[in-house]
Structure 1
Amino acid sequence: MNDESAAASAERVDESGGRHVPSTRLLDRRPTLNQMNLLFSGVMLGWAGVFGSGVSVLFSGAILLAFLRLYQRKIVFPSDRAILAVALAFAFYLAADVISGLFHNDGMVTWRQVAKDIPFLGFAFVYARLCLSRREDVLDAVERGAISGAFATLLVTGAELTFTAHDRAEGLAGNPGVLAVISSLVYGICLLAAVRHEKRMRWVALLSALAAATALLFTGMRALWPFLLIGPAIPLLVLRPKLHWPAVARGALVAAIPVLVVGYFAYDVVETRVNALVQSVEKIEAGKHDVSLGRRVVVWKHGLEKAEENPIIGSGPGSIQEDSAEVFGVSHYHNFLLNALVKSGVPGVLAILGLFIVPLVVVVRRLRPADETGLAGLSLLLTLQITFLLSGSVGIMLGHDIHDALFIYGTIVACFLVAGKQTLPTTPTLSHAGTASS
């Protein structure tokens, strides 16, 4: 047998990751696009607390690679009108800022802010790349990524609070609020895994959910703490598993021990933040606004006044950073609707609401009751959206690189789990040796 015939009979994994063809060449053992999809999904939605802004770099790279793979005809641009509607809703978010920026052009200040929204154009392209994989495999990868990422995030935050002067955990996200969003999302995915699986996997998922909850408490972000109660209800209401109540009771008794341990270590952070909230309310009632919550009230009042100046088209994307930073030393108005109204007016408000409403409508309309993977997709979408709504109610929702990457890719995965299907290119490229590369 000559070299060519030996190479032709070597084992090689095709793009779907499931069918094997003969090949022994070391080069052909590179990860397939499918395998890279699964690894990427687990890292993006599970490890952001460890990698920090690295996930936004990964997502930007995924968009560029998706363009390349589309050019190479290794992926197929989605033709599903529902998915294209979601992609248009995400593109409109950028368009609203562009329109406002054209009316209120403050030079580089404006267009730097607009440029931050460019990743929202990547929805359909990254979705197309994800379609090389099976829905069930993607869901499994996301769950495993969240479970492992929850433990890793807890290790990072625990070390941070133990060995540094920080009184609130930031992780490599560099901000308690951002880490709280990450931890909340990971917590919800771990709970989803616990509901879907049984026996050992369920216990591992529950422990990882507890780890993510601990990291969330360590951030001291009170706005996200309600999700600790909301999170478990989502997969239970969506998937409606059959519960064996005696087993649930025994599980609750066993879980009481690690919960008490978490309570012990998180007590100081929780007590400090609750006391700060009580003191803030008392000072606001006394007419003093020199505390965190009081400053937010002042910022909101100023934001409403600013919004009244240009309610239709807004004051421009650059106005958020310039005005709020100049007056209050902050980079946003601590409320997602107020932020959008000041920045881009009515189109901006419609755009940011569309980011939530359009995917939710698409997912609900395409959902099949017997489809467990699709139901998991709905659970993921609700977890994602409630997390970001809680964050955006008194803090930042979008406009931060990590937030944007998580929100866009989380929505992509949720929509794919419900409405997606594995789509492989029909070009001859897939039958050639080079297609196993990523």
Structure 2
Amino acid sequence: MRTYTSVAVWLLGAVALVIPSGYSLGALLLLLGSAVLLFTRPRLALSRQDKWIMLVMLAFCLTGLWEIAVSGEALREFDRPSRFLLAIPVLLLVMAYPPRFAFLWSGLVVGALGAGGWAGWQKLVEGTDRATGYTYVIQFGDISMLLGILCLAGLGWALAQPQRKSWCALLLLGALGGLLGSLFSGSRGGWVGLPFVFLVLYRAYGGLMTRRTQAVLAVLCVVGVATVYAIPQMGVQHRVNSAFSDIAEYAAGGGQTSSLGARFEMWQGASRLVAEKPLVGWGETGYRQGMERLAEEGIVNSRVAERYGHPHNELLNAQVKQGVLGLVILLALYLVPLKLFARELRAPDMSLRALATAGTLLPVAYIDFGLTQSLMEHNSGAMVYAFWLAVLWGCFQAKRKSLPMT
């Protein structure tokens, strides 16, 4: 079973973005494999922390049912939140039969390099304006970024391996591939939170570096950012300049349908709807109808109201559709794992520290992505968060329980 979970976890990262619905393949194998728990019945000795993680996953799933009940939606709307329910047996499977960590980290490297290479081909060879992979451009860029930063989290594990130099080089290449995938996609939302990503990495690994090394890395980061911005083919300069242009145009009373202008319109409309029904929310259909009403009243742009089914902000989307309960549970889905993983960012065991770093970066990245997109409204976004949370927590707890008591 450890071989089975190792291969499935490898696929979870390796093919996430390079084949259609690739993020589902490893998850499906893990879910099917969890059926073995019915027969083997391993002694898991679940801790209070394990139960908290499963509780927030279950609660997020149940908010999907709450939204359906409030708005009278079809049960097919339960599809995305149900991923968090399905990820719970996967978490138990990984705790019982944890994958070999070389498979976990190498899968992330392959997935990030594949995403970066595929995005580079689309952008530089095919001449696509923004690389999309096999999913929508924003999800592609954000998930590519996530794969890259998880590679950086794995550096702690790599340092403890006999082939440390080779593993560190591979993980750094994976991080570069994931970053390039995001840059070629032009998904600006993922770039905003990079300082917080580096803060987590510094918290975990800063103590292992001399001041000189820290200074060199800081200079390399600045030079790297300047170089990426200066190369027109990367598309970063154009995307940054267009952001300032969108803001200026919207402030002048126009540009309601531009990339940022449309978001300002959605945020304005959603905020008004929240004020009207803050406790229970509007549900999916109610949100669309409410935005159409605001468009008829001239409060928001009619094209924006017709085109978008969510306000492109994760917290605002939860509040406007599911009310206060939805907002609180979404925050718990982020903050509970973040707090529990972050406790071991300075763990003496480097494998455990790497898993803690990856587990901390997962919600940090999603909080960042959620500023300008509602990833949980998309199958790819919900699948990636639910199943990587299950895998990382299962590995984290299995490793922690395997260490001698101190």
TM-score, length-scaled by structure 2:
0.83
Instruction: Indicate yes or no: 2:317 matched with 1:356.
Output: no
Q: Is 2:150 the partner of 1:193?
A: no
Provide the residue aligned with 1:393 in structure 2: 371
Contact 2:342 2:360 (8 Å CA) reproduced: no
Return 298-307 or 371-380, whichever deviates more: 371-380
**2:82 and 2:234 mapped to 1: Cα distance?**
41
Higher relative contact order by CA 8 Å / sep ≥ 6: 1 or 2? 1
Distance in 1 of aligned mates of 2:344 and 2:289 = 43
Moved more, 289-298 or 366-375: 366-375
Change (3 A) 1:120 1:322: farther
Give the whole-Å Cα distance in 1 for the aligned partners of 2:377 and 2:289: 15
d(CA) in 2 for partners of 1:367, 1:169? 34
Matched, 1:343 2:321: yes
Deviation at 1:56, TM superposition (A): 2.4
Could you tell me which of 375, 378, 396 is aligned with 2:353? 375
Q: Give the fraction of aligned pairs with identical amino acids, expressed as a percent.
A: 22
Q: 1:266 to 1:147 in 2, by over 3 A?
A: farther
* 2:18–2:133 Cα contact (<8 Å) kept: yes
Larger CA deviation: 364-373 vs 326-335: 364-373
Which structure 2 residues correspond to residues 267-346 of structure 1 after superposition, within 5 A? 267-288=233-254, 289-320=256-287, 327-346=305-324
Question: CA separation in 1, counterparts of 2:137 and 2:375?
Answer: 13
- How many angstroms apart in 1 are the aligned matches of 2:191 and 2:394? 29
Is contact 1:134–1:422 with CA below 8 Å preserved after alignment? no
Classify 1:153/1:236 alpha carbon distance in 2 versus 1 (closer, same or farther; 3 Å): same
Q: 2:3 aligned to 24, 35, 43, which one?
A: 35
1:159 to 91, 110, 121: 121
* Deviation, structure 1 residue 330: 1.2
Distance 1:122 1:266, change over 3 A: farther
Q: CA deviation digits over 1:388-417, x for unaligned, max 9?
A: 111111112312111111111221233234
1:54 to 22, 25, 46: 22
Distance 1:299 1:221 in 2: 18
Describe the superposition over 1:357-401 as per-residue Cα deviations: whole angstroms up to 9, x where unpaired.
222233345777323223222211222112111111111231211
What is the alpha-carbon distance in structure 1 between the residues aligned to residue 14 and residue 61 of structure 2?
27
Q: How many residues align?
A: 385
Q: How does 1:109-124 map to 2 (within 5 A)?
A: 111-124=75-88
Q: CA deviation at 1:45?
A: 3.1
Cα distance 1:423–1:242, how it changes in 2: closer, same or farther (>3 A)?
closer
Q: Give the corresponding residue for 2:300.
A: none
Residue of 125, 129, 137 corresponding to 2:93 = 129
How large is the Cα RMSD of the aligned pairs? 3.2
User: What is the identity, as a one-letter code, of the residue corresponding to 1:94?
Assistant: C
Q: 1:215: which partner in 2?
A: 181
SS state of the match for residue 122, structure 2? helix
Q: Residue type matched to 1:275 in 2?
A: N
Counterpart CA distance in 2 for 1:85 and 1:418 is 14
Please state whether the residue corresponding to 1:170 is helix, strand or coil.
Answer: coil
Take 2:38 and 2:67, find their aligned partners in 1: how far apart are those partners? 33
Does structure 1 conserve the Cα–Cα contact (< 8 Å) formed by 2:122 and 2:128? yes
Does the 8 Å contact 1:178/1:402 carry over to 2? yes
Of 390, 408, 411, 2:389 maps to: 411
Deviation at 1:280, TM superposition (A): 0.5
What 5-or-longer segments of structure 1 have no aligned partner? 1-32, 425-438
Please say which of residues 381-390 and 326-335 is displaced more in the overlay. Answer: 326-335
Cα offset, 1:79, TM superposition: 2.6
Give the aligned residue type for 1:312.
L
Q: Which has the larger radius of gyration?
A: 1
- What is the CA-CA distance between 1:205 and the residue it aligns to? 2.2
The amino acid across from 1:191 in the alignment is L
Indicate yes or no: 2:133 matched with 1:176. no
Q: Is the 8 A contact 1:239 1:372 kept in 2?
A: no
Using the alignment, how far apart are the partners of 1:279 and 1:256 within structure 2?
Answer: 24
In the alignment, the residues of structure 2 paired with residue 324 and residue 175 of structure 1 have an alpha-carbon distance, to the nearest angstrom, of 23
Equivalence map 1:6-25=2 (5 Å): none
Once residues 52 and 367 of structure 2 are traced to their aligned partners in structure 1, the CA distance between those partners, rounded to angstroms, is: 22
Measure how far apart 1:322 and its partner are.
6.3
For the pair 1:141 / 2:103, whether they are aligned, the reply is: yes
Supply the distance in 2 between the matched residues of 1:259 and 1:342 (Cα, whole angstroms). 36
CA, structure 1 residues 254+285, in 2 after alignment: closer, same or farther (shift >3 Å)? closer
1:242-289 Cα offsets, whole Å, 9 max, x none, are 225667788899999998986676645112111211110110110112
Is this contact kept in 2: 1:84–1:124, CA < 8 A? no
d(CA) in 1 for partners of 2:222 and 2:245?
A: 31
1:82 equivalent to 2:60? Answer no
Per the TM alignment, residue 134 of structure 1 is displaced from its structure 2 partner at its CA by: 4.4
Q: Distance in 1 between matches of 2:275 and 2:384?
A: 32
Counterpart pick for 1:96 among 63, 73, 77: 63
CA contact (8 A) 1:77 1:125 kept: no
Question: What secondary structure does 1:185 align onto?
Answer: helix
382-391 or 77-86: bigger deviation: 77-86
Deviation digits for residues 299-324 of structure 1, max 9, x if unmatched?
A: 11111122233211111244346666
Aligned-pair distance for 1:181? 1.7
Q: Provide the rounded CA distance (Å) in 2 between the counterparts of 1:169 and 1:251.
A: 28
Which residue of 2 is the match for residue 19 of structure 1? Answer: none
Instruction: Name the CA distance, whole Å, in 2 between partners of 1:92 and 1:161.
Output: 40
Query: The residue matched to 2:147 in structure 1 has which SS?
Result: helix
